[in-house]
Structures are given as structure tokens and as C-alpha cells.
Amino acid sequence: MNKRQFKDGVYSELAKITKSLANPHRLEIIELLAQGDCPVEQIAEQTHLSVANASQHLQVLKAAQLVDVDRKGNFIHYKLANENVFQTWKALRELGVERIAAVEKLVKDFRKSKFDFVSVTIDELVKKIDTGRVTLVDVRPESEYKKGHIADAISIPHDQLSQRLKELPKRTEIIAYCRGPFCVFADEAVALLRKAGYKASRLEEGFPDWKLQKLPVEVSVN
């Protein structure tokens, strides 16, 4: 093998990964799997895809070795191959917001048209937690909360929040978080909380970003 063949081979193999990521549904699936392993039916429901279509996308990601299969009895769950997969997705997300004006504009225009509040970063949240005057609310589906959540956060899924407002104290600031900056569960939660008279903000990032920084997490399922 000469030098040219070596380079062509390496770059061709790496291109398989970038090709597998070049689809909006597969990017969303990676973000979903960053919350924890999922069966194809749950992935299909959360991404508004048919089960057959979701399965096809998962097979592409699996062929690129970005996704693994985990058998649990008679059920098949999909999971990210390792932490590097989410790190790659996070880097792509941040590069897109930084370098692609259309991405930043979409995010800003969406929030400006629907929500009027300031987000907090992970570093800011850590400082708020140290004061002991903040209540963390995980507004993702309960199944995702059980697979992993920020330590001491309470689970109130976004579609249950309006019925469970009385469970939250008004003497502390409420910080809601969800899957990540492109997830709107936390935005909707904060809008509802503020309308009800709570002091509330959303975490700009999501649980996977928190976990990636090796900050305290808890698991509620075996």
C-alpha cells in the first residue's frame, strides 16, 4: 500500500461516518439516544416517523458503528455506541449554531416568537445549585428521567406540569431542563411556570451535556 492508497482508504472510511450523519432524522435520533437506550417503537413515536422508517435510519447508524443493539429479553433496544458519538453530535450542533447563520436565526426567531426569558448555562446552574436556592425540574418523559437525570432533579414531564404546579415551591427559582438546546419541552415549561407566578428559567443545554461534563447524575431504573 502506498501513501495515496493509505490516505484514500482512511478518508473513505471516515466519510462513511459523515454520510451516515447527513440526515436530519438521524441527527434527531442521536440526540434522543443520548438520553438513554430506546426500542425502535419509542424512537419512531418521539421522532414522528413510522417504525419501518425509524428502523431504516437506525440500521444506517448501526452500519457506521455509531449505534449498538442491546437485547433485553425479547426486546431490542438501541443505544449510542459510546460517549464519543454524542461528543461528535454536540460539536456539530455548536459548529452549526456558530457558523451557519440560518441555524442561529431559526433558534432565535422561534424563541422570540413564543418565549421571552433568559436561559442559564451549565456553569451558571452549578453556581445556583451551590446556593441551595434552586429547584431542578426534568421535563423530559419519565422513561428518560429514569435512565439518568441531574442529581436531585424531580421528574415532572412537560405534559403533566400544568396539573402538578402545586408540587413546586415558589420560594426558590425553578430551573427546567430537557434533552438539549433544540428541545422545546423546557421552553414550554418555563413559559407555563412564569405565567403561574414562578421565577423560572431553562437550562440552555440538556441532560447529556451535563453528564458529559462528569457532573453529578442519578439513575432511577436498574
Q: Which fold has domain 3-85?
A: Arc Repressor Mutant, subunit A (1.10.10)
CATH number of the 109-218 domain: 3.40.250.10
pLDDT at 113: 63
Angle made by CA atoms 218, 188, 83, in degrees to the nearest 5: 35
List the chain pLDDT tens, one digit each, 222 residues.
Answer: 899 999 999 999 999 999 999 999 999 999 999 999 999 999 999 999 999 999 999 999 999 999 999 988 888 999 999 999 999 999 999 999 888 888 878 877 877 766 777 789 999 999 999 998 899 999 999 999 999 999 999 999 999 999 999 999 989 999 999 999 999 999 999 999 999 999 999 999 999 999 999 999 999 865
Domain locations in the chain? Answer: 3-85, 109-218
pLDDT of residue 112: 72
Q: What's the full length of the chain, in residues?
A: 222
Which position among 33, 34, 67, 178 bears the catalytic label? 178
Q: What is the pLDDT of residue 149?
A: 97
List the strands of the sheet with 200-202, edge to edge: 154-155, 134-138, 173-177, 200-202
Q: Any catalytic annotation for residue 178?
A: yes
DSSP string across the chain: --HHHHHHHHHHHHHHHHHHH-SHHHHHHHHHHTT--EEHHHHHHHHT--HHHHHHHHHHHHHTTSEEEEEETTEEEEEESSHHHHHHHHHHHHHHHHH-HHHHHHHHHHHHHH-----B-HHHHHHHHHHT-EEEEE-S-HHHHHH-EETT-EE--TTTGGGSGGGS-SSSEEEEE-S-TT--HHHHHHHHHHHTT--EEEBSS-HHHHHHTT--EE----
What pLDDT score was predicted for residue 221?
64
Output the pLDDT for position 99.
86
**Cell triple for residue 67?**
449505534
